[in-house]
Amino acid sequence: MDIITLSRSISTYLNQDLSALHEDGSENAFIYFSGDIVQQSVSLAPEIAKAEEARYSEKKYKHIASVKRLTYLLNKNIKRLENCNSNGKDYLPLLRAELKKFKQLQHTWTLTL
């Protein structure tokens, strides 16, 4: 839940800086990465719930793989946003720290399934 809250807050903060168009009329490509971190963080909880509810190990592993993929993509998009020109990127280390804690919990959780 902390990851969802942080990603939404960071995305809102970044969108204020990144939503302005460049002088040539093009938009900032980093604005899409800010939306991606929200979408990926929101998708984590349902995948965890599906893995917990699955009766067969094949389906559990499918959802576990999805959670791993989402955390990988989330981490990758955080790295991309660290290169953007915004003051909001100062909050990305907080999200990265929460993601690191989540990965440790994820490893333990995977072993218990």
Lowest mean pLDDT among 4-8, 18-22, 36-40: 18-22
Reply yes or no on whether the pLDDT at 22 is more than 90. no
Closest by CA to 81, choosing from 21, 40, 25, 22, is 40
Average pLDDT, whole number, for the chain?
88
User: What mean pLDDT do residues 6-23 have?
Assistant: 82
Radius of gyration of the chain (CA): 16
Counted domains in the chain: 1
Structural domain for 97, as ranges: 3-112
- Residue 30, pLDDT score: 82
User: Per mean pLDDT, which of 14-28, 42-56, 74-88 is the most reliable?
Assistant: 42-56
Q: pTM of the entire structure? A: 0.85
